[in-house]
């Protein structure tokens, strides 16, 4: 329990992220942890897919904000895992064509269906769209 959990993630084009385990597992709270990185990857993938669909529909997205949450728990074998990931995107549109809430939900549905990070996960991904 006394070893340093700090490490470095080297991403494309020389980006560097300081990593550690989560604070609950003796990690450094000032550094990113793998569970957080998985959640951010999912939220980013969903957002980029959503923005692509919106652009194809010629919709202008003024802002996109998400407050995603990952829940830890145990699977049926008693092993720790992320048991649920919740995305809470709030999207603001501008321009001449403002979609209805149902149309926004449909874009989110398509984004969820086509996000390859989400399609790679075993745990359920829940969308709580905010208007």
User: Are the beta carbons of 60 and 91 closer than 8 angstroms?
Assistant: no
pLDDT tens for each residue of 36-54: 999 999 999 999 999 999 9
102 vs 21, 64, 107, CA distance in Å?
A: 40, 17, 9
Residues of the chain short of pLDDT 50, as ranges, are none
Count of alpha carbons within 13 angstroms of residue 41, beta-carbon side: 13
Count of alpha carbons within 13 angstroms of residue 19, beta-carbon side: 15
pTM: 0.90
pLDDT for res 131: 63
């Amino acid at each position: 329990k006394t070893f340093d959990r700090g490490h470095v993630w080297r991403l494309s084009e020389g980006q560097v992220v300081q990593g550690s385990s989560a604070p609950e597992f003796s990690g450094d709270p000032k550094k990113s942890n793998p569970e957080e990185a998985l959640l951010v990857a999912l939220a980013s993938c969903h957002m980029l897919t959503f923005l692509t669909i919106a652009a194809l529909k010629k919709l202008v997205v003024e802002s996109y904000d998400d407050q995603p949450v990952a829940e830890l728990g145990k699977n049926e074998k008693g092993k720790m895992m992320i048991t649920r990931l919740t995305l809470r995107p709030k999207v603001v549109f501008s321009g001449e064509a403002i979609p209805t809430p149902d149309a926004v939900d449909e874009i989110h549905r398509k984004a969820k269906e086509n996000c390859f990070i989400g399609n790679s996960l075993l745990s359920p991904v829940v969308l709580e769209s905010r208007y």
